[in-house]
Amino acid sequence: MGQELSSSRLTATAGTATVEGTAGGGILPWVMLAGYGDRKEIGCAAGLGRLSTSDYGLSTQAVACSYSNRLELSVARQSLELDGLIPLLGLPPNQKLRQQIIGAKVRLVGDVVYRPYGQLSFSVHHKSSRDDELVRATGATRTSDTEAMLGWGKLFIDGPMGQMLYLNAAARWTRANQGGLLGAGGDRRDSRQINMEAAAAVLPRRDLALGVEYRRKPDNLSFAGEDDWKDLFVAWFPNKHLSVVAAWVDLGSVGTLSNQDGVYLSLAGSF
């Protein structure tokens, strides 16, 4: 009784599967837990994502499940195609940078919808590269590492001009290079630092969110400078089983190649 997959939480309030596996919005993790399960219910989400910039292509697969809207466990795989970098560095064709992310997120207190102060969540991601040699060659000191995040999120039902407004802010304690794709730590800095990230989205309808996100990042490698990430996104939730995200993402400089902006598309299912 009550252990079956269930989906009682309100449409769109479970977010979507992100590139890092855990539930979130455009490309950033948010505080909500994956799937639509609430107390004593199990909810899951699985998604595929594709980001194409002028010199790179990133493919992601993510699965996350939560129990009782309290604990979420997630797994993600990312594969970065290095089209623009291969001729420059003389890398073997088809060389990719792949990593796996295992994550856990706990809802500490509150609720995104029903508490005036919103919801606080704490999460941990363990990121490990599957292309150690190349990661080390960039100057990264670690091929796997763990980072932690503390986030706050709140859906203002009666937001400006009668629309719903969702705000999310988080502090990430990390030393990951390019989100972990280039390992962690480097010659410039090898200790974790606190990076802020934030998202704001307006919901002009129950099933549609338009938002903007910003993520500060470490800059550990002298081989390749790293910029903050920003994006503009549209997320559509036709029902509780499907979500579609389209975003314009600006990654800045990645692996010595600057101006890496492009389109991100993601399709996720919840059950």
Partner 1 sequence: MRRATFLMQVTLSPRVSLRTQLAALAMSFSMLMSGCASLSTDQATLYERLGGKEGVALIVNEFIIAMANEDAVRPHFRNINIAGFRARLEDFLCQTADGPCEYSGRSMKQAHATLGIERPAFNAIVEALMNAMEASEVSFADQNALLARLAMMESDVVSAHPFKPPARQIQP
Binding site for partner 1 (CB under 8 A): 6, 8-11, 38-41, 69, 111, 113-114, 116, 156-159, 161-164, 204-206
Q: Give the residue with the Cβ less far from partner 1, 51 or 201.
A: 201
Q: Give the residue with the Cβ less far from partner 1, 56 or 152.
A: 152
CB of 9 to partner 1, least distance (A): 6
Q: Give the residue with the Cβ less far from partner 1, 205 or 265.
A: 205
Q: Give the residue with the Cβ less far from partner 1, 113 or 257.
A: 113
Q: Give the residue with the Cβ less far from partner 1, 20 or 38.
A: 38
Q: Which H, E and C letters describe the chain, residue by residue?
A: CCCCECCCCCCCCCCEECCCCCEECCCCECCCCCCCCCCCCEEEEEEEEEEEECCCEEEEEEEEEEECCCEEEEEEEEEEECCCCHHHHCCCCCCEEEEEEEEEEEEEEECCCCCCCCEEEEEEEEEEECCHHHHHHCCCCECEEEEEEEEEEEEECCCHHHCEEEEEEEEEEECECHHHCCCECCCCCCCCEEEEEEEEEEEEECCEEEEEEEECCCCCCCCCCCCCEEEEEEEEEEECCEEEEEEEEECCCECCECCCEEEEEEEEEEC
CB of 159 to partner 1, least distance (A): 7
Q: Give the residue with the Cβ less far from partner 1, 114 or 137.
A: 114
235 dihedral zone (left: phi>0; alpha: psi -120 to 50; beta): beta
CB of 36 to partner 1, least distance (A): 9
CB of 22 to partner 1, least distance (A): 21
CB of 12 to partner 1, least distance (A): 12
CB of 30 to partner 1, least distance (A): 19
Q: Give the residue with the Cβ less far from partner 1, 156 or 173.
A: 156
For residue 108, CA distances in Å to 12, 87, 113, 218 come to 21, 47, 15, 26
Contact between 36 and 69 under an 8 Å Cβ cutoff? The reply is no
CB of 5 to partner 1, least distance (A): 12
